[in-house]
Amino acid sequence: MSIKIQTLSGYMHEYQKSVLQPEAFWSRVAESFHWKKHWDEVVQWNFEEPKVEWFVNGKLNITENILDRHLYTHANRTAIIWEPNDPNEKTRKLTYKELYEQVNRFSNALRQKGLKKGDRVVIYMPMVPEAAIAMLACARIGAVHSIVFAGFSSTALADRINDCEAKVVLTSDENYRGSKTIPIKAVVDESLEKSPSVESVIVLKRTGGKVDMKEGRDYWWHDVVEGQSTECPAEEMDSEDMLFILYTSGSTGKPKGVVHTTGGYMVYTQFTFENVFQYSAGDVYWCTADVGWITGHSYIVYGPLLSGATTLMFEGVPTYPDAGRFWDIVDKHKVNQFYTAPTAIRALEAYGLKPFEGKDLSSLKVLGSVGEPINEEAWHWYHDHVGKGRCPIVDTWWQTETGGIMLSPIAGITPTKPSYATLPLPGIQPIIVDEKGKELKGNSVEGNLCIKFPWPSMLRTTYGDHERCRQTYFSTYKGMYFTGDGVKRDEDGYYRILGRVDDVINVSGHRMGTAEVENAINEHPLVVESAVVGYPHDIKGQGIYAYVIADMTNRTAANLENEIRETVNKIIGPIAKPDKVQIVSGLPKTRSGKIMRRILRKVAEGQTDNFGDTSTLLDPSVVEEIIKNRK
């Protein structure tokens, strides 16, 4: 490890250097990795096209830095601890050597299925070590993985498979989730009716449940790895070769495929993992995310494994078999760093303190939070009852597009403040602008958060549509990356994220585009038009409120509301189901036909007057009706 921050003055010193001499700074970090060929230049960039390249012409394979490199020094250290959904099932542990062998065997199997560098592989799997093995096997042979969270519906899965034209899909027979069993191979079968690019499906046997295997297309995981060598030469990748695509929601249209490349992503995720969490060799680190989200990519798999860490993967949910499950796991595996989302904290808070009884949490050193703003109450509960007042909380702000943590305390070093992501990590140059793009300098300001200089793990494009990437992130404010988040910088220069300023909502830490949910609702045959907004929700952070105009002949409102929820469930998945559906006879529109979402948001929040300027409103009676029938 080249740079490990150990003191506050050390942080300030490195931060200064990273801004004044970014090339020298990142060179120093990158030197600690294994490169097949050294880079020619550290960074080349312009935010107009945009074009960003890090470690230009460097050659490497990220899995050599995860696997081969660690074999020399700690082959027998545990790489992955796996905790199953059912606490009575056996825990699995894989050492670095075992992980190396299993990744290589599966890499050879993928090559045998005809996969080559650049081909896309969709992974739709439960939280089992094979999901991580699948990711690393793709990276080993240069195939591009695109993980789709296994809670998404067959339609959502098909959309993603088709967008990246995946050749192979990796899945399992079924998936355990709390007390439920979900037949995910059947979901894959359904989506493949609409996905012609897929040549093979590899199915991991997880539950032993019955599945249909299509001759010539579907293969069992255990069959394809049978007899494969535990050695597999790693493909030589350019720094800027694609590592993975991850679909995420934006304010318009369909989810976009955020593209991350190899060299910069490797350097940044490892650097941030080790520093933010202050990970030391031998610690047990646990991030509760799913590998289907960016947090699982960067801080369950890549960052920790690049650091030679022991990373825990949990298959289940926080409340199964009861609300003490997280604390059982911390106790059982003596977890040192624990990283979760505010929504999980708030959900567990509702169960009171009984679930902590008899659980020894004294191994914990650092607590992390990610995915949405953490409210002060949840912050204190986390700090007092989970950390017993001893553990620093790192409130980490970042995004799918940023690849790694951007604003965060360094554990135990940066003084924390509840609900503040505090300060930028080395290499990150935030800037706050007003609506017009004017920089708001100094402290005690509030505006839109942009980043003015590239960092190694930033997105390079949106798959198959570079213009969309430019439009979405680089056109709102000239020469800057626009995050879509509002932010405040307080009197101490500390950053507090205020939430999205665009039409993206954050439900239980999951990103959702309001347009995406509206499109799904509109698929219901009786729906004429709909408008979706977020509203404050005690546990989920934000809930989904849908206003729907529908043909009510032969239907009761209650019936239709349920059907609409079911339609969304089918088209996107359970995470996008509206919490509230209100059938309306009209939507508040301007004379030019634009929906006045501001009014809808206020009504959903429970505010029924003071709508600001409504002079452009076409028909005020619509608003009265909406208020009267508010859910």
Binding site for ligand WTA (CB under 6 A): 248, 293-295, 369-373, 395-400, 421, 483-485, 497, 499-500, 506, 511
Cβ-based nearer residue to ligand WTA, 373 or 588: 373
Least gap, CB of 218 to ligand WTA (angstroms): 31
Contact status, residue 58 vs residue 72, Cβ threshold 8 Å: no
Q: Which residues pair with 499 in a beta bridge?
A: 486
Cβ-based nearer residue to ligand WTA, 383 or 511: 511
Q: Which residues pair with 354 in a beta bridge?
A: none
The whole-angstrom separation of Cα 35 and Cα 471 is 34
Dihedral sign for Cα atoms in the order 605, 611, 614, 618: positive
Least gap, CB of 483 to ligand WTA (angstroms): 6
Angle at Cα 249 formed by Cα 248 and Cα 253, nearest 5°? Answer: 125
Contact status, residue 588 vs residue 599, Cβ threshold 8 Å: yes
Sequence letter at residue 460: R
Contact status, residue 364 vs residue 330, Cβ threshold 8 Å: yes
Least gap, CB of 274 to ligand WTA (angstroms): 18
The secondary structure of residue 425, as a DSSP letter, is P
Strands lying side by side in the sheet with 92-95: 92-95, 78-83, 310-314, 284-287, 337-340, 366-370, 393-396
Cβ-based nearer residue to ligand WTA, 213 or 501: 501
Contact status, residue 545 vs residue 533, Cβ threshold 8 Å: yes
Cβ-based nearer residue to ligand WTA, 253 or 282: 253
Cβ-based nearer residue to ligand WTA, 294 or 532: 294
Cβ-based nearer residue to ligand WTA, 126 or 484: 484
Least gap, CB of 405 to ligand WTA (angstroms): 8
Contact status, residue 123 vs residue 134, Cβ threshold 8 Å: yes
Tokens representing residue 537 in the block: 């929700």
Per-position DSSP letters for 24-44, written without gaps between them:
HHHHHHHTTS--SB--SEEEE
Q: Which residues pair with 344 in a beta bridge?
A: none
Contact status, residue 98 vs residue 305, Cβ threshold 8 Å: no
Cβ-based nearer residue to ligand WTA, 137 or 507: 507
Least gap, CB of 129 to ligand WTA (angstroms): 23
The whole-angstrom separation of Cα 104 and Cα 230 is 5
Cβ-based nearer residue to ligand WTA, 358 or 415: 415
Phi and psi dihedrals of 614, rounded to 5?
A: -115, 20
Length of the chain in terms of residues written: 631
Least gap, CB of 188 to ligand WTA (angstroms): 24
Least gap, CB of 29 to ligand WTA (angstroms): 21
β-pairing verdict for 527-537 and 541-550: antiparallel
Cβ-based nearer residue to ligand WTA, 235 or 395: 395
CA torsion 438→439→442→446, rounded to 10°?
70
Cβ-based nearer residue to ligand WTA, 308 or 484: 484
Least gap, CB of 320 to ligand WTA (angstroms): 23
Least gap, CB of 44 to ligand WTA (angstroms): 26
Cβ-based nearer residue to ligand WTA, 113 or 452: 452
Tokens representing residue 117 in the block: 């560098």
The whole-angstrom separation of Cα 19 and Cα 453 is 9
The secondary structure of residue 590, as a DSSP letter, is B
Least gap, CB of 395 to ligand WTA (angstroms): 5
Least gap, CB of 404 to ligand WTA (angstroms): 9
The whole-angstrom separation of Cα 576 and Cα 505 is 10
Least gap, CB of 546 to ligand WTA (angstroms): 21
Contact status, residue 170 vs residue 200, Cβ threshold 8 Å: no
Tokens representing residue 611 in the block: 């709508």
Cβ-based nearer residue to ligand WTA, 336 or 448: 448
Least gap, CB of 435 to ligand WTA (angstroms): 18
Q: Which residues pair with 220 in a beta bridge?
A: 203
The whole-angstrom separation of Cα 480 and Cα 466 is 16
Cβ-based nearer residue to ligand WTA, 248 or 416: 248
